[in-house]
């Protein structure tokens, strides 16, 4: 039963992230990627902190963790969310979900390089298959046809479009954040760290949005669109589950 619970705790965040991007896709086109990134982070962070207080957990960040906490906040919250939102502007939610979920593959390579975590032969096969699948999903059809000797030579400059590059940048940011959480939670509660990094990481996005001229200051969404935004923020984050799992496994 313990193994099943661990697997559910590990897999559930990805199901939530995938459905959240389906909800976010129409919102970034009407409200702007930066404000959507802010509205996804800030309310969810407040909800996590309320849960921390309600459960009686330690809600302050240890002074010894502060430097790593701020690095983690910038990379895993601000940078990740803006890359994700901008990527959704130019990619579909389906392809975007696949690209963003490449981050466990990147995490495995980072953990192997930084912490010396072992990857068994079957794991290496899985990594290669996963990376190959991501390339095949993201590459244009004419490039794939050329690789399979079924078409004319195609420029590798068309291998990834701007939206896919943003998505991969988001995956790399989240992968780095997955590594950094170990350092940010040495003396602090991982759920409190999660809540505070979402709240504080959203503030630079709000400041950025105030200087934007291409998007309205506040989105004029219909009630149904606000429901999608609420789901993407409160139910589609999965950050608390993911970070607790990471710290327990470290």
Tens digit of each residue's pLDDT (9 = 90 or more) over 63-121: 999 999 999 999 989 998 888 888 877 775 555 666 666 666 676 666 666 666 667 77
Amino acid 247: pLDDT: 46
DSSP letters of 169-182? HHHHHHHHHHHHHH
Q: Does residue 17 belong to any structural domain of this protein? A: no
Residue 77 near residue 202, CB atoms below 8 Å: yes
How many domains would you assign to the chain?
1
Q: Does residue 56 belong to any structural domain of this protein? A: yes
What angle (nearest 5°) sits at the alpha carbon of residue 69, between those of residues 66 and 73? 140
Q: Does residue 21 belong to any structural domain of this protein? A: no
Continuous H helices in 74-120: 80-90, 93-100, 103-114
- Residues sharing a CB contact under 8 Å with residue 134, sequence separation 6 or more, in sequence order: 98, 99, 102, 105
Residue 29 near residue 92, CB atoms below 8 Å: no
For 166-200, letters b (16+ CB in 10 Å) and e give bbbbbbbbbbbbbbbbbebbeebbbbbbbbbbbbb
Q: Does residue 189 belong to any structural domain of this protein? A: yes
Residue 208 clears pLDDT 60, i.e. is over it: yes
Q: Does residue 236 belong to any structural domain of this protein? A: yes
Q: Does residue 6 belong to any structural domain of this protein? A: no
Output the furthest CA–CA distance in the chain (Å, rounded). Answer: 64
Q: What is the pLDDT of residues 3-14, one digit of tens each?
A: 665 555 566 666
Mean pLDDT value across residues 118-134: 72
Residue 18 binned pLDDT confidence (cut-offs 50, 70, 90) = low
Q: Does residue 10 belong to any structural domain of this protein? A: no
pTM for the model stands at 0.75
* Crossing angle for the helix pair 239-249 and 162-184, to the nearest 10 degrees: 50
CA 239 to CA 199: how far, in whole Å?
12
Structural domain containing residue 196: 34-249
* Beta-carbon count within 10 A of 133 CB: 13
Q: Does residue 49 belong to any structural domain of this protein? A: yes
CA 194 to CA 190: how far, in whole Å?
6
Distance from CA of residue 246 to its chain's centroid?
Answer: 14
3-state helix, strand, coil in the chain (%, to 5): 80, 0, 20
């Amino acid at each position: 039963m313990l193994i099943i619970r661990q697997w559910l705790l590990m897999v559930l965040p990805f199901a939530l992230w995938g459905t959240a991007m389906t909800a976010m896709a129409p919102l970034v086109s009407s409200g702007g990627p930066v404000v959507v990134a802010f509205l996804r982070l800030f309310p969810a962070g407040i909800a996590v902190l309320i849960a921390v207080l309600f459960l009686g957990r330690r809600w302050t960040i240890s002074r010894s963790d502060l430097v790593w906490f701020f690095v983690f906040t910038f990379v895993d919250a601000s940078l990740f969310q803006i890359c994700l939102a901008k990527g959704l502007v130019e990619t579909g939610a389906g392809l975007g979900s696949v690209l963003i979920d490449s981050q466990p593959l990147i995490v495995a390579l980072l953990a192997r390089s930084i912490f010396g975590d072992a990857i068994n032969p079957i794991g290496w096969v899985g990594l290669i298959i996963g990376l190959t699948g991501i390339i095949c999903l993201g590459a244009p059809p004419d490039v794939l046809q050329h690789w399979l000797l079924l078409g004319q030579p195609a420029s590798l400059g068309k291998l990834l479009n701007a939206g896919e590059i943003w998505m991969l940048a988001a995956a790399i940011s989240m992968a780095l954040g997955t590594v950094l959480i170990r350092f940010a939670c040495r003396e602090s509660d991982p759920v409190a760290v999660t809540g505070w990094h979402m709240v504080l990481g959203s503030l630079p996005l709000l400041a950025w949005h105030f200087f934007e001229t291409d998007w309205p200051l506040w989105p004029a969404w219909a009630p149904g669109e606000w429901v999608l935004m609420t789901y993407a923020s409160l139910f589609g984050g999965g950050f608390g589950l993911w970070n607790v799992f990471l710290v327990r496994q470290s």
